[in-house]
């Protein structure tokens, strides 16, 4: 919790100067997401009721006021201007090429997206990470078709009410995706890699609604499954996998704050959003629905909920719910390893690593990295060429890294990754 407190103070100090939406988004991308991630990591360590009480008390005293203040500031700015995610009239779909597979993950919050990107890079994949604002309200029925490859023209006329914030049913959405020339990949299917595909995998949102704060204990396992699914798709021959999501979420052990919205004023009311009845008078802030800007929805203030006792919720306007991360994942370089190259020995003597290699290793260089496919993650004092006998050694200068996991990698003179193997810096510890 000391790390969490430090991160909160860093982000809070950056907000003193009355930031713009762009400033808030930039601060969140650089530091804010780490605060959310710190909460998840703290909750993941809980094993007993006594521990939960202590951790929850610390989180509620430090994290809650920060998240509340950030959300209210964001809402204040946007209510007087416009939402950066726009509406269906102002946004354009990303270009999709032949050989692309779009992987949809329900509820991949920004911090989870960063963790997934880190997992992929450590496995040797090249990723491009792009922040993206979700559609409003931040619920699946609105956000999923906004990132799906469907034709959305004339949808305002076709669906004027927005009663359940849903543009298309599951069947209608899949039908529209197929009509746009995309395959639907289910379960472990890999499809025809000479075309385009839509794949849904890793329902983090379902786990959050089902488990509440315990989502924290399962998040990394869910992300590992998503990473493996991406690996299988690229191994099957897809040129690129585009990871998209519909929304993020708020999570607070013990429940998010409750705010009142009389049932008589609304047609429908969810945790963080509501459809106000025509002609009803309310002090709630109203925002245009993404799929019909003429239809407005009420979004709860701050990080509060229209329902009591909700530990996990979304649908409102906050950085955690609305600023997500899209990933573009490319295959491992040259299948990540030339089959004719074999790292046979890895020996640590102190902080010096010496390796032995068999095969076609001429012209290759040895490096130690925390992320196999990421050259800036090198921790070696310098890379070293392999000798004629297939050996080389490098030194990790930072002794504080002893005992940490890393990768022994071999690259050619262009920097292309040719082979890798996992290691522990300084050697295995007892």
Q: What is the pLDDT of residues 194-225, one digit of tens each?
A: 999 999 999 999 999 999 999 999 999 999 99
pLDDT, residue 315, reads 97
What are the chain's domains? 83-331 (no CATH), 334-424 (2.60.40.10)
Per mean pLDDT, which range of 103-117, 230-244, 310-324, 367-381 is the poorest?
A: 367-381
Using the predicted structure, report yes or no on whether residue 337 has a pLDDT greater than 50. Answer: no
Give the residue-averaged pLDDT of 122-137.
93
pLDDT, residue 12, reads 54
pLDDT, residue 151, reads 72
pLDDT, residue 13, reads 52
Q: How confident is the model at residue 333 (pLDDT cuts 50, 70, 90)?
A: low
The more confidently predicted of residues 123 and 325 is 325
Per mean pLDDT, which range of 155-159, 165-169, 257-261, 321-325 is the poorest?
A: 155-159
pLDDT, residue 334, reads 55
Share of the chain above pLDDT 90, in %: 69
- What pTM was estimated for this model as a whole? 0.77
pLDDT, residue 339, reads 60
Q: What average pLDDT is seen over the chain?
A: 89
Q: Which residues contact 133 (CB under 8 A, 6 or more apart)?
A: 83, 84, 85, 86, 322, 323, 324
Using the predicted structure, report yes or no on whether residue 62 has a pLDDT greater than 90. Answer: yes
Q: What is the pLDDT of residues 70-87, one digit of tens each?
A: 999 999 999 878 899 999
- Given a contact cutoff of 8 angstroms between Cβ atoms, the answer to whether 4 and 38 are in contact is yes
């Amino acid at each position: 919790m000391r790390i969490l407190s430090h991160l909160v103070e860093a982000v809070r100090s950056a907000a003193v100067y009355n930031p713009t939406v762009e400033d808030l988004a930039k601060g969140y991308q650089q530091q804010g997401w780490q605060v959310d991630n710190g909460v998840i990591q703290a909750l993941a360590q809980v094993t007993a009721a006594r521990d939960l009480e202590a951790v929850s008390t610390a989180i509620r005293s430090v994290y809650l006021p920060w998240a509340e203040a950030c959300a209210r500031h964001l809402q204040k700015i946007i209510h007087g201007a416009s939402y950066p995610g726009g509406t269906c009239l102002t946004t354009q779909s990303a270009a999709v090429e032949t050989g692309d597979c779009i992987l949809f993950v329900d509820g991949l919050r920004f911090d989870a997206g960063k963790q997934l990107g880190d997992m992929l890079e450590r496995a040797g994949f090249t990723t491009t990470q792009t922040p993206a604002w979700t559609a409003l309200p931040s619920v699946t029925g609105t956000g999923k078709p906004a990132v799906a490859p469907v034709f959305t023209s004339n949808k305002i006329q076709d669906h004027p009410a927005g009663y359940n914030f849903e543009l298309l049913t599951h069947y209608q959405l899949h039908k529209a995706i197929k009509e746009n020339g995309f395959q639907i990949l289910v379960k472990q299917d890999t499809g025809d890699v000479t075309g385009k595909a839509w794949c849904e995998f890793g329902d983090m949102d379902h786990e959050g609604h089902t488990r509440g704060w315990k989502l924290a204990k399962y998040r990394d396992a869910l992300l590992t499954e998503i990473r493996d699914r991406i690996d299988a798709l690229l191994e099957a021959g897809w040129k690129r996998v585009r990871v998209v999501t519909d929304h993020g979420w708020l999570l607070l052990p013990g429940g998010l704050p409750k705010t009142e919205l009389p049932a008589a004023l609304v047609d429908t009311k969810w945790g963080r959003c509501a459809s106000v009845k025509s002609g009803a008078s309310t002090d709630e802030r109203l925002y245009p629905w993404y799929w019909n800007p003429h239809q407005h929805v009420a979004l709860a203030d701050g990080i509060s909920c229209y329902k009591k006792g909700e530990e996990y919720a979304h649908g409102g306007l906050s950085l955690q719910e609305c600023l997500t991360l899209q990933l573009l994942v490319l295959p491992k370089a040259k299948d990540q390893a030339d089959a004719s190259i074999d790292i046979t020995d890895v020996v640590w003597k102190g902080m010096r690593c010496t390796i032995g290699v068999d095969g076609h290793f001429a012209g290759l260089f040895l490096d130690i990295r925390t992320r196999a496919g990421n050259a800036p993650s090198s921790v070696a004092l310098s890379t070293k060429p392999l000798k004629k006998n297939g050996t080389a050694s490098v030194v990790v200068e930072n002794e504080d890294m002893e005992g940490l996991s890393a990768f022994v990698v071999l690259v050619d003179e262009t920097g292309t990754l040719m082979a890798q193997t996992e290691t522990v810096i300084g050697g295995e510890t007892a």
